[in-house]
Structure 1
Amino acid sequence: MNLLLLTPQEIDEQGCVQLTDRRHQHIQQVHRLNKGDTLQAGVINGLCGEAEILEQQPHLTRLKLNLYRQPPAPLPVTLLLALPRPRMLARSLEHLTALGVKKLVLMHTNRVEKSFWQSPELKPEKIHQHLILGLEQAKDTQLPEVHFKKRFKPFVEDELTSLAANSLKLVAHPGNYPSCPRNINQQLTLAIGPEGGFIDYEIELLKAQGFQAVQLGERILRVETAVTALLARLF
């Protein structure tokens, strides 16, 4: 936990907060902080700063906040990601949040197993938990938007034009395509398929919406590795 992340409702009129949950335990058992010590803190969708420990007891930690700076700038990207397998989804959500992705669309494609959509990892509380862990890792406060699209063709044909308006449109796909560009300086909509890749029909649908196919080389990467490599190269 690199950032103590709080909700506005937890903060009283004096700018103080009292914790008894995992954050209290982390401060006490991992950071091993005591009264008078400070740590990095922030409010969800708000400012960052420091928190001073006013009281430290076995069952609670009480802190005083001093918030004064903006969180890190987000990446200018909308990420369209084929729904990963459940175990990989949890890691991917945390990685993407830590990297600064603020708009994520999880979509169904031909090679996404239908059973993935029944996973407990897609419950709102589980999604929120992984987003929070990503924010804590990166010292960020801005929660990403996560959208679900279970029908690929209607989404691409009916919604993607407005979603990707005024942006560079790229689809990452293995094959004889141009190399992924580097260090772009504009809004981007990036589509990434499942481990088996998009099928040809899906690539053609995306191309019809103005997407250009690009590749990272001959190696086939796992989803979380490919996402990290692409965003690092692009930005």
Structure 2
Amino acid sequence: MNLILLEDRDFISPDRVRLQNDRCRHIIRVLGAKPGDTLVCGKKNAKMGTGLILAIDRHSIDMQVRLDQAPPPPLPLTLVLALPRPKMLKRILQNLASLGVKEIYLINSRRVEKSFWGSGVLSESDIQRHLDLGLCQARDTLMPRVHLKRFFSPFVKEELPELSKNKKKILAHPKAQTSCSVGVTSDTVLVIGPEGGFIDLEVQTLVDKGFEPMTIGVRILRVETAVTALISRLFT
């Protein structure tokens, strides 16, 4: 945990917080912190700074905080991702939060198993927990927004054109002939399919909406690897 992520409920005064539960245990057991130590802190969707530990007991930690630093700038990216396997999704959410992706759309596809949509990982609390872990890892406080879209056609035909308007449109597709762009600085919408890829009809539907198929090479990658590789390539 490279940053202690604070929420409104933690503040007992404008510049003091009281931490309990998992964060308290982590600070004591993992970081080995003690009164007088200073930790990197940040308020969710607000500024970052430092926290001076004033008091520690078995159940809580009091800190005086000074939050005067802006968080890292977000990537100019909206990610549209076919819903992956639940175990994979946990890691992907953490990685996306760490990389600075702030808009994430999880969509359906012919090759997405129906059971995935019933996974507890899609609960608001689970999504929040994994995003929090990613932010703490990267020292960021701006929370990504995750949108769940269970129907492919209505989303791609009705919503996607509006959210991708005036943006660079990229469809990650292993059979594409065009190599993925490098060093992108403009607002971008990146669409990534499920394990096995989008079916031909889905690919054509996305192409009809202005998305250009691009590839990062001949190797077929797992979705969690492809997500990180594509984002790294685009925004190097």
TM class by shorter chain equals: over 0.9
Which amino acid is 1:222 matched to?
R
Helix, strand or coil for the counterpart of 1:213? strand
Name the SS for the 2:182 alignment partner: coil
Q: Could you tell me how far apart the structure 2 residues matched to 1:14 and 1:162 are?
A: 40
Q: Which residue does 2:125 correspond to in 1?
A: 125
CA deviation digits over 1:2-59, x for unaligned, max 9? 1000102321224111112111111111110111100100000000000000001222
Alpha-carbon distance between aligned partners in 2 of 1:68 and 1:171, rounded to the nearest angstrom: 39
CA contact (8 A) 2:51 2:66 kept: yes
Partner of 1:105: 105
Residue identity in the other structure for 1:183: G
Whether 1:57 aligns to 2:57 is yes
Summarize the Cα distance change of 1:176–1:18 in structure 2 as closer, same or farther, 3 Å threshold.
closer
Which residue in 2 is equivalent to 1:177? 177
Matches of 2:80 and 2:187, distance apart in 1: 14
2:227 counterpart letter in structure 1: V
Q: Secondary structure at the residue paired with 1:170?
A: strand
Q: Which residue of 1 aligns with 2:221?
A: 221
| Structure 2 unaligned blocks of 5 or more | none
Q: Could you tell me how far apart the structure 1 residues matched to 2:163 and 2:59 are?
A: 47
Question: Which residue in the other structure is 2:153 paired with?
Answer: 153
Q: Residue deviations 1:129-175, cap 9 Å, x none?
A: 11111111111101111001111011111111111011000000111
Q: After the TM superposition, which residues 8-87 of structure 1 pair with which residues of structure 2 at under 5 Å, given as runs?
A: 8-87=8-87
CA distance in 1, matches of 2:149, 2:52: 43
- Cα deviation per residue 1:63-103 (whole Å; 9 max; x = unaligned)? 01000011000000000000001110111100111100000
Aligned mates of 1:208, 1:176 — CA distance in 2: 15
Name 2:203's counterpart in structure 1: 203
Inter-partner Cα distance in structure 2 for 1:76 and 1:96: 13
Secondary structure at the counterpart of residue 9 of structure 2? helix
8 Å contact from structure 2 (residues 12, 18) kept in 1: no
8 A contact 2:176–2:213 mirrored in 1: no
Name the TM-score, length of structure 1 as normaliser.
0.98
Identity of aligned residues (%): 48
2:56 partner amino acid = Q
- When the two structures are superposed, what TM-score results if normalisation uses the length of structure 2? 0.98
RMSD: 0.8
Deviation sequence 1:172-192 (CA, Å, 0-9, x none):
011142000100110000000
Where in structure 1 are there 5+ consecutive unaligned residues?
Answer: none
